A and B are shown apart, each in its own frame.
Chain A
Amino acid sequence: MYAVFVIFLPFIMAALLPPVHRLIGDRLIGWYVMAVPLILFAALVRLIPRIADGEIVSASYAWIPDAGIDLAVRIDGLGMIFALLITGVGTLVALYSIYYLSPRESLGHFYVYLLLFMGAMLGVVFSDNLMLLYTFWELTSISSFLLIAFWYHRKGSRYGAQKAMLITVMGGVSMLAGFLMLYFMTGTFSISEIIGMRESLSGAPLLIPAMVLILLGAFTKSVQFPFHIWLPDAMEAPTPVSAYLHSATMVKAGIYLVALFTPLFGGLESWFWSLSIAGIVTLLWGAFNAMKQNDLKALLAYSTISQLGLIMSLLGFGSVALSESAAGDPTAYAAAGFAAFFYLLNHSTFKGLLFMVVGIVDHEIGTRDIRRLGGLMSFMPVTFTFAVIGSFSMAGLPPFNGFLSKEMFFGAAVDVASGQPFAGGAEVLFPVVGWLASVFTFVYCTIIVYRTFLGPSQPEKIDRVPHEAPKGMLVAPGILAALVIVIFFFPNVVGKYVIGPAMSVMFPELSRQADLVPKIEAWHGFNLPLLMTFGVIALGLLLFITFRHWKKVYRVAPFRWTMDSIYRSMLGAGEAGSTILTDLYMTGRSRDYFAFIYLFFLVTVGGMLFLTGAFDPDFTRGPVGIFEISFVIIMAFAAIAMLFVRSRITATLLNGVLGYSVAIFFVFFRAPDLALTQTVIETVTTVLFLLCFHFLPEWKPEDSPLRTKVVNGIIAVGAGTLVTAFGLTVQGYDVYESISGYFEDSYKLAGGSNIVNAILGDFRAFDTMLEVVVLFIAGIGVYTLIALKPKKGGDDVEGK
């Protein structure tokens, strides 16, 4: 119950928001919203000791039980880390938004979306049912879509929203496919049950496809290369949203997913390589691109991409611990997993802080373009201090928490390069690439601080007089800045109470054998990681100073390639190609449409007739008399002649020949009723034709190219032949007993000696009634067609 309450509180509050908003007004609504994550945060913190003891809080309610879909909720150590981020950062972001958003904005929408997101995100990390997780997963994509386009009158916002949604939903759908494969293999959607089946699943043929599909979901959400392209465009969202969704929480859902499935897939070689390589490439590409950005938010977006890559690679390194063939002590590898969580937490603090700093700059100065900024230190000293704390932490300098986690990353990369069990060779590159990315990170951190707050002031390029932000706006970043420092000094509290329980979820068996919580120390002697940090600082400074000189490298391929242009051209080509393709066969000409139908008939029915071996014409039925043959010849002649006549009246007459000949065939086959009806119908039709005659336009001969005529001719002859062949084949079957004998007793049964009429009026009277209705509808159809004509020159617009 408790767990369900945690997820649904935001939804309930979101539903209540509109009336509350009307009641308390714009000024207080932000506080109403802030209360939600605050209450939840407090509730979760109270749970920490229980979770740290290995307890699991869970609840389950039936939703669609037969299909294995339940509202199963489970709070464990892994979900807890993320939930603390969601509610903790959520509280601060809500607080910050109160001052950031002007009351002129549609606050109601904003806060409803925000609460929806919060609930969805909590749902993702607390679901114990794959389908429930998927539901919440898509809901995060949707709320992110709505938040990115909060300022929907901007083109960029709409573009960014659509892109983010498409890419993340694509990932979601492929993840769903992966989940369904898991269900297919295990027969359950319960995550804890599936994890428990690790042994029996090994070697299942669908295991690797399922893994790939699930990873696709994780990679799109957590912006791994090349799916990272949506994140920079998502920066069109208001800055609190960027800080919350697009750096602290939603983009970490993929990380959560990977951690969640590590007990299942961890130890697989493909799992290790996928995560490590995707992570490392993303790390480097993100950092490299971050340096060239002029927009501070875009810079932070790329840095987020880069650091999510780092976390992803750490999870890859950590998964080695689950491999049976890992050399040495598995707990050493597991430390990489620990580092991943530690980095995750630290990242949320310093990146959230930096986003808020950028938001303040944007809010107070009116721009976040570093080409127009500079020298703000003296105007906004507090903001400057926050920027320094955040940037230095991100760059991995002491005394900030980023230093600790970066050291651990270096350590893990070195470890995995020296001893991982999967042959490859690429692993030696991991520490090198990681180190290089850190150098880039150092460079862009310096850019943030220097180009914004130091350097020459450029008052002529900004519209406002720079000043410090209002106090309320500084509270939230202040708390984060304090955390950045506090965690540096007391990392082991976090390690023990927050990360430790998550480790025991990710490595359930290993954690029973050994303590997976390493002691984090700021000073760990002159070892390789520390030397690497020195290298980072030295080379970083050098690169920063010479930035102007090597900047042109961005114009050289492949560095100038952006995945974004590929996305754009794919989308564009998709739409253009579809249009071309559709126009190709949608000619609007009935003639072509008939050709399609008959061609399809020839191919499928003709094909089947021969493939099934059913073709077996039966020529044995009765002698064909001379009369029949002559009428067949007459009909054939009339039909063919109709194609060549040049006047409508001749065509009508030839059509009559066909109709009356059919009547004569009915006579041959001793069906006087039908013959009579056919004759009358033919007469009435001809009269109708004559009535219409003077309305009809000139008879114009067909003017299609010869080739079309020949092709259509072949199709027509083919279709006719096929029907004949079909009919002859059907003749020969008499294995089934026919019901027609029954009707011969019609006098006894239905009191009428005319079988046909007994069938029409009694046995199948319903058909007759309906056919009469058909005739009648045709009647009113003709009537309305003539009686209800639009006024001349009337247009075709809907709804009058």
Chain B
Amino acid sequence: MTNLLLFPILIPILTASVLLFFPKRIAAQRAVTVVGLVASIIAALFLLRTVMTDGVQAVTLGSWPAPFGISMVSDPLSVSLVLTSLLITLGVVVYSFRSIGEGREKYFYYPAILFMLTGINGSFTTGDIFNLFVFFEVLLLASYLLIVLGGEKRQLRESIKYILVNVVSSAFFVTTVAMLYSVVGSLNMADIAEKVTEIGQSGILTVIAVMLILVFGLKGAIFPLYFWLPGSYAAPPVPVLALFGALLTKVGVYAIIRTVTLLFPHDPGFTHELLMILAILTVIAGCIGALAYYDLKQIVIYNIIIAVGVILFGVAQMNMAGLEGAVFYLIHDMLIKAGLFMLIGVIIAITGTSNLREMGGLMKTYPGLAWTWLVAAFGLAGIPPLSGFFGKLLIVQGAFEADNLWGGIIILASSLIVLLSVIRIFIHAFWGEPMPVKGTSAGIYRGLLIPAVLVTALTVFYGVGTEWLRPLMWDAAEILHQPSIYIDAVLKE
């Protein structure tokens, strides 16, 4: 199947188009969405198997030779990110049944999610820098739709900032692509990488690399470009927040990874040093933010920023341990953030507030929620053998190997702040004197909790099953470390 790697992108877009024919029939919307997602997951699993057995998959659309048409490339990193995104989306969609409300469901909620997923999976799969821009636009437009959907006052206020910042960042992106094309004369990432390797990474390309870090850093919320994130992510309802928090920043992170490993790995003195400094600052800034709030959403949102810093710090080490750790941590973080956001959604549904000071004693009435939260919290903080541990371990090993002793120690120390921030939620919300709560029906509670528990369980398997995942992660990291594997796979035709 030449086009197998496109299926996880095309099935969502096809499903979304079909959904447009009957927007008001909620049951059909839900059913078709789930079917589409399951089909995409199956396709992604096949793709995963193909990539693991036959190596990197690449297809250049329209049967054109490689640097001229648009190449789509699926390597272990791409396919695992695609699969993770699909699984998370499925979880969030099921979670939405009981939480998003009929109004939104009748107004293109599911098509918007599927379009966003198209953009996300496309960004993970494309091997063409301009096509990446286009996929970014797809996911951004869909995210604009999701962030305003419902039209609550706060949503509108925050979405305008979100849209403005992203328009500026898109302008930067397209400018950078223009500069890049003007210098290198190609848009195909493998082709660019090969040319840069052959002829050398001149100074101007390093500047362009930094431009790309800026562009993707805005999406990925690195220091000091994350300021738009806490406000705008907190505006939409929890399922949308869960999708944004789990997936969107990771697209930026992924793009940075490709930039510094595939396109411009030759001048680490500038690019990687800068990236490492920014990553450490990101971690610190995220930690400060995570302690500053007594709001459930804000606490977890700032934890996104910390994780972005940790991942990029791993990438900046540019050795196998650091890269593999970054890949491990990246996928862990997507899963765990989805789980955490879904869980705080349950808490908010029960208590009617996201202010920690106004809740307490939920342990007695909702023990299942409490234990799931605790497991997720420990997973996030990287308590072994849960999912956050191994990635962070490798990242710190990578740091030690690269002689970045202090950086490694800061990354470890950040775990403590992470733990404090989420354990505070546990202590305040689940322990303590019970507070009068709004309460929710058992049906809604179960409908919300079950998908949240499943996603959390997934993270636990991810942690415990580290050994089974290692070959995949190792291959992913190896391609980042040895981009020639990627380049050859694309340009071989």
Interface residues of A (CB under 8 A from B): 62-67, 131, 134-135, 138-139, 142, 149, 152-153, 155, 158, 161-162, 165-166, 169-170, 173-174, 176-177, 180-181, 183-184, 206, 209, 574-575, 577-579, 581-583, 585-586, 588, 590, 593-594, 596-597, 600-601, 604-605, 608-609, 611-614, 723, 726-727, 729-731, 733, 735-740, 742-743, 749, 762-767, 770-771, 773-774, 777-778, 780-781, 783-785, 787-790, 794, 796-800
**Contact partner, B289, options A582, A735, A762, A778, Cβ 8 Å:** A582
Interface code B98-131, partner A: CB below 8 Å = 1, 0 otherwise? 1111011011100110010010001000000011
Judge if B148 is at the interface, Cβ distance under 8 Å: yes
Further 15 A-B residue pairs, CB within 8 A, beyond A131-B393, A727-B179: A142-B383, A180-B397, A586-B231, A593-B164, A605-B210, A608-B270, A736-B186, A739-B68, A763-B69, A764-B69, A766-B70, A774-B138, A778-B144, A784-B108, A790-B152
Q: Which residue of A lies closest to B381 (CB)?
A: A169
Q: Do residues B218 and A612 form an inter-chain contact, with CB atoms below 8 A?
A: no
* Cβ contact within 8 Å between A613 and B203: yes
> Do B393 and A765 have beta carbons less than 8 Å apart?
no
CB within 8 A of B274: which of A181, A604, A733, A780?
A604
Is B268 located at the chain interface by the 8 A CB criterion? no
Q: How far is the CA of A597 from the CA of B225 in the complex (A)?
A: 6
Does the CB pair A798–B237 fall under 8 Å? Answer: yes
In angstroms, Cα B383 to Cα A183, docked, is: 19
Contact B141 A605 (CB under 8 A): no
Q: How far is the CA of A298 from the CA of B352 in the complex (A)?
A: 40
Is B443 among interface residues, defined by CB-CB distance under 8 A? no
Given contacts A605-B207, A777-B115, contact A794 B69 (CB under 8 A): no
B348:A174 contact, CB within 8 angstroms: no
Q: Are A738 and B237 in contact (CB under 8 A)?
A: no
Residues of B that sit less than 8 Å from A by CB = 13, 61-62, 64, 67-70, 98-101, 103-104, 106-108, 111-112, 115, 118, 122, 130-131, 134-135, 137-138, 141-142, 144-145, 148-155, 160-161, 164-165, 168-169, 172, 175, 179, 181-188, 191, 195, 199, 202-204, 206-207, 210-211, 213-214, 218, 224-225, 227-228, 230-231, 237-238, 267, 270, 274, 288-293, 345, 348-349, 352-354, 361, 363, 378, 381, 383-385, 390, 393-394, 396-397, 400-401, 405, 408-409, 412-413, 415-416, 419-420, 423-424, 427, 430-433, 444, 466-467, 470, 474
* With A153-B361, A785-B148: A173-B214 Cβ-Cβ less than 8 Å: no
Q: Are B397 and A798 in contact (CB under 8 A)?
A: no
| Complex CA distance for A155 and B432, rounded to whole angstroms | 7
Whether A739 contacts B191 by the Cβ 8 Å rule is yes
Q: How far is the CB of A725 from chain B (nearest CB, A)?
A: 10
Are B225 and A600 closer than 8 Å at their CB atoms? yes
- A781–B270 Cα distance when bound, in Å, is 41
Contact partner of A780 (CB less than 8 A), chosen from B108, B204, B213, is: B108
| Contact A770:B182 (CB < 8 A) given known A173-B415, A796-B153 | no
Whether B168 and A169, one on each chain, are in contact in the complex, defined by CB atoms closer than 8 angstroms, is: no
| A158-B427, A578-B289, A784-B148 known; A763 vs B64 contact (CB < 8 Å) | yes
Give the CA-CA distance A579 to B430 in the complex, in Å: 24
| C-alpha gap A777/B381 in the complex (Å) | 38
In the bound complex, what is the Cα–Cα distance between A274 and B161 (angstroms)?
A: 54
Q: State whether A600 touches B207 (Cβ < 8 A).
A: no
Q: How far is the CA of A29 from the CA of B333 in the complex (A)?
A: 40
Residue from B135, B152, B185, B345 whose CB has the most chain A CB atoms within 10 Å: B185
A202 to chain B, nearest CB (A): 19
**Do the beta carbons of B70 and A767 come within 8 Å of each other?**
yes
Are A180's CB and B141's CB within 8 A?
no
* Residues in A whose Cβ lies below 8 Å from that of B69: 763-764
Q: Which residues of chain A have C-beta atoms less than 8 A from B427's C-beta?
A: 149, 158, 161-162
With A165-B423, A173-B413, A771-B137 given, is the CB distance from A596 to B210 under 8 Å? no
Q: Give every chain B residue within 8 A of A600 (Cβ-Cβ).
A: 214, 224-225
Rounded to whole Å, the gap between the CB of A304 and the closest CB of chain B is 25
Contact in complex: B202, A735 (CB < 8 Å): yes
Decide: B203 and A730 in contact? CB cutoff 8 A: no
CA distance A101 to B172 in the complex (A): 66
Tell me the smallest distance from the CB of B116 to a CB of chain A, in Å: 9
Residues of A within 8 Å of B352, CB to CB, are 797
Whole-angstrom CA separation of A600 from B228 in the bound complex? 14
Whole-angstrom CA separation of A329 from B164 in the bound complex: 77
B394 contacts A67, CB within 8 Å? yes
**Assuming A66-B470, A611-B270, A773-B115, is B122 touching A153 (CB within 8 A)?**
no
Per the bound structure, the CA–CA distance linking A728 and B473 in Å amounts to 42
Are the C-beta atoms of A138 and B168 separated by less than 8 Å?
Answer: no
B67 and A585 form a contact (CB under 8 A): no
The answer for the CA separation of A583 and B270 in the assembled complex, in Å, is 32
CA distance A596 to B165 in the complex (A): 11
Contact A614-B179, Cβ < 8 Å, known A173-B415, A763-B68, A788-B104: no
Given contacts A174-B412, A763-B62, contact A575 B138 (CB under 8 A): no
On whether the beta carbons of A597 and B431 are closer than 8 Å, the reply is no
Closest to A155 in B: B432
Chain A residues with Cβ under 8 A from B354's Cβ?
A: 798
CB distance from A232 to the nearest CB of B (A): 19
A609 touches B207 (CB 8 A): yes
**Assembled-state Cα–Cα distance A438/B152 (Å):** 69
> Roughly how many angstroms separate A523 CA and B474 CA in the complex, as a whole number?
65
How far does the alpha carbon of A594 sit from the alpha carbon of B62 in the complex, in Å? 40
With A173-B412, A604-B210, A799-B101 as contacts: A180 and B396 at CB distance below 8 Å: yes
Residues of A contacting B430 in the complex (Cβ-Cβ under 8 angstroms): 152
Check A799/B348 contact, CB under 8 A, given A590-B160, A726-B179.
yes
